[in-house]
A and B are shown apart, each in its own frame.
Chain A
């Protein structure tokens, strides 16, 4: 039977994911990281390297059996994947942030809110019964209030340093996030023992 295929997220979650797998003796070959598909050194796992927002797509549609991704990505989509294990790293918060001189509390007109997470933001403001105009951006969301594009932003914050450097402060927390192991539903059915063993091993190595 072919090895399981694991979708790795590029960016901040990549190194801790590889470190967790290394704890199981699963390591990747050294060398220039230009390939997007490669095998573990021991050949037990095939890896895909994907943008974090695409990891659930690869797993949901069966191009990968498993993957690691932030819960922010899962909250933004509606992915039909299993989420059996919170990996315990990559902890962040999704916050509403405003300029330090923001006067939202005294104004009543709809606020303009820039975000990479339109669905999360829409749900949050609906729950808060706040009417806002959402502006979807692909990145560098902190820029929007600085140039008058928006009043607030909804964005992922790890330490808050980027917000602070751009004169922004969190004014509300929307959700907390962390890295999550996700599994293709069909793989979990048909290779259950193998997948359950891997989940148990990843859980065990986290608590060591």
Chain B
């Protein structure tokens, strides 16, 4: 059964709109062109939706269409199929709603996202661009103290390949690393015959999080040439990004089937879930056409909107214009003049009782009350 599960009131809507507007402004200033993929789409059997969103979380399917569950797949498909001949790199942004099925109930969840995709540009510069843009976006929203934790799918993959484990054991080990189950991880590795330096390196993943020193510690764990190459790449991305908000975290092993290079999440104090996710997905466009490098990120708008309470509104000043209803035409003239001067004006033909005006103004975030005579003459009435 599909049930609508949320109704968002005016106050939250205002915060959500502010986050969307500020992110759109950042995206535009980096020359990312906004696109608007269809809300209804053909089921994506091969793309990111299938790779990253489990079937039981896919939204309702009606015949040959389903509600959009992700922006990246739709944008990648469009670029691969419709923009094949256009000069690279291609910069695209989006802001809107995707639909996911809650894993714990049978209801659809609306998730508001805004993000960017950079297609046709390789690592490390393109990765650093996305990280810099992400940091600027978080700043614009006022996400003070937010941290972007970057890892590298190639490093973990190479380390596990060196262990040459059966796929079911590798999957079990990835789950244990993802959950930080150190004791269970050691037991599984021992049972699989992994020991010595390789075991220390895999278990050591759990501690590879922090500042730039993590890369040095990671180098000390392994001589594997692929691991070394990914660390070189990560170090260069970190250097180019040059942001105090960016941290290294090599303990992240989720989504290895999708990401091909860096993967990152951002976290903000007081918010118990990631506020941003992203990474390099060089394998995706090849599913629709020619293979191309691609990197992107998605901001989670609703958690970020919780951080907006202390931000100044972007909206112009606002007023409640009070007047007797028999002076309606004069009030319209005054309101037009005030709006033309940049104010937002709500009309009150004295419907609100005078003793309730102050409550109404406070509840609706209105800056001031203006009386008609004063608005017309600029003098106190």
Contact = CB atoms under 8 A, between A and B. Distances in A.
A53 to B, nearest CB: 12
Contact of A190 (B147, B179, B182, B210): B147
A51 to B, nearest CB: 15
A190 B267 contact: yes
A184 interface: yes
Interface string A44-63: 00000000000000000111
Interface string A61-89: 11101000000000000100111101000
Given A78-B103, A192-B209, A186 B271 contact: yes
B126 interface: no
Contact of B183 (A86, A183, A185): A86
A62 to B, nearest CB: 1
Contacts of A183: 180
A62 B179 CA distance: 16
Contacts of A188: 180
A165 interface: no
A185 B269 CA distance: 12
B287 interface: no
A83 B272 contact: no
Contacts of B147: 189-190
Given A189-B149, A192-B209, A62 B180 contact: no
B333 to A, nearest CB: 52
Contacts of A186: 267, 271-274
B249 interface: yes
Given A189-B147, A189-B149, A84 B273 contact: no
Interface in A176-205: 183-190, 192
Contacts of B183: 86
Interface string B165-206: 000000000000001111100000000000000000000000
A63 B272 contact: yes
A36 interface: no
Contacts of B209: 189, 192
A32 to B, nearest CB: 30
Nearest to B270: A2
Interface in B255-271: 265, 267-271
A1 interface: yes
Given A62-B272, A62-B273, A186-B274, A81 B179 contact: yes
Interface string B134-153: 00000000000101010000
Contact of A189 (B179, B181, B182, B249): B249
A1 B179 CA distance: 25
A62 B271 contact: yes
Contacts of A190: 145, 147, 267-269
A5 to B, nearest CB: 10
Contacts of A187: 272
Contacts of A78: 103
A189 B267 contact: yes
Contacts of A184: 272
A189 B273 CA distance: 10
A117 to B, nearest CB: 16
14 contacts: A65-B272, A81-B179, A84-B180, A84-B181, A185-B273, A185-B274, A186-B267, A186-B272, A189-B147, A189-B149, A189-B249, A189-B265, A189-B267, A190-B147
User: Which 3 pairs across A and B sit closest by C-beta, in order of nearness?
Assistant: A62-B272, A84-B180, A82-B180
Given A185-B274, A186-B272, 5 more contacts: A61-B273, A65-B272, A187-B272, A189-B265, A190-B147
Interface of A: 1-2, 61-63, 65, 78, 81-84, 86, 183-190, 192
